[in-house]
Amino acid sequence: MNWLKKGAQMNRSEKLRQKRQPAAQTRSAVPAAAASRLAADRVVARRASTSAENRHSVGTQPRRKVVYSVGANGVETRLPALPILRFSWQWVSGILTILLLMFIIVLVNTPIFKVNSFEVHGLSTYSSADFNPLLNGRRDSIFLVNTNEIFDSILVAFPELVGSQVEIGLPNRIVITAAERKPVVLWHSSTGDYWIDAEGVILAPRGEGSGLLTIESASLPPLLVERHDPRNFTEHVTMVFERKERPSNPSERAAHIRPEVLESALQMNSLLPQGATLLYDSVSGMGWRDPGGWEVYFGNDLSNIQMKLVMYQVILGRLQELGISPEMISVEHVDAPYYRME
């Protein structure tokens, strides 16, 4: 009995297992197939995309294949492939850049554009040859000339010029336009002659100065600002740094006579006797040489010139009464006049 019961239970178990097995296989088979198909699709799509991108990034330029027929028997040979050229604006810009560089090189090295001399306008006592030393190291193409450097060089070398302008004209002209200062005084010293304009600027004589007020002196014109060349390396370096920190303007670069000396000379000229010559002494100041042969000095302060003139006339008259021929009379100090004999 027990055996029969066990057999019946086994038959029922097998039947239930058989009923359940097809459903489980169906449920597991369908998702597995779908998952396999989806996975395959994803892999194929990814590989296709990656392959296309790689081909595009590392792909070479397409080439034109040329096949040449050797004979009538159908034998053909393949010539080396030729690249297929496509139009690009980058090629155009590159070609234009090269042509422009070549054009600039030709312009810079063409002899017709080489600077040889200056063209001077507005100056009567200066010629272009006077400015040629400024071309040392600048005999180059007109396109490489720096007008600012030339202008600064003119201010240093020719401080007596005013209103200087530097312009460039093709093919190789450098035009300098300026005006000259008009001298009013001729300073005749033992070391040379100097011109002085109405502003007190000391000029180098050029040409003939007719009608100028002549001053004779044993010394140079007294400068408003004393200048001297650097005596050692330290003074030279100090001067360079001072010019960098405070560049001088054209009026400061020119040498100026002391204004009180120039003013005294112009004032004394109106009091000068007929035939007398204006004199200047670094100690006794301004005076004149009388036609009688003696010298008289009134100093640099002419605020009381009328009193000094009266005193001079009194002293001269007294000396003539005594039969004394003076060599020099000084009334620079009203309270202490004196004279000196030969």
Task: Give the model confidence (pLDDT) of 43-91 as tens digits.
Answer: 444 444 444 444 444 555 565 666 666 666 666 777 666 666 677 788 8
Rounded to whole angstroms, the Cα distance separating 54 from 9 reads: 66
Q: What percent of the chain has pLDDT over 70?
A: 67
- What would you report as the CA-atom Rg of the chain, rounded to the nearest whole angstrom? 53
Domains of the chain (ranges plus CATH)?
112-180 (3.10.20), 181-224+256-342 (3.40.50)
pTM, two decimals, is: 0.59
CB 184 within 8 A of CB 196: yes
Q: Which residues contact 80 (CB under 8 A, 6 or more apart)?
A: 66
Residue 230 host element (H or E): none
Give 267-286 pLDDT, tens digit per residue.
998 888 888 999 999 889 99
What b/e string do you get for 86-104 counting C-beta neighbours within 10 Å, with b at 16 or more? eeeeeeeeeeeeeeeeeee
Structure tokens of 308?
A: 């000094």
DSSP, res 302: -
What b/e string do you get for 150-159 counting C-beta neighbours within 10 Å, with b at 16 or more? beebbbeebb
Q: With CA atoms as reference, report the closest residue to 137 among 146, 126, 124, 129.
A: 146
Instruction: Please give the pLDDT value at position 45.
Output: 44
Q: What is the mean pLDDT of residues 237-266?
A: 70
Provide the residue count of the chain: 342
The per-residue pLDDT of the chain, averaged, comes to: 77
Q: What is the mean pLDDT of residues 202-217?
A: 85
Q: Which residues contact 219 (CB under 8 A, 6 or more apart)?
A: 189, 190, 280, 281, 282
Give 116-157 pLDDT, tens digit per residue.
778 888 888 888 888 888 877 666 788 888 888 888 888 878
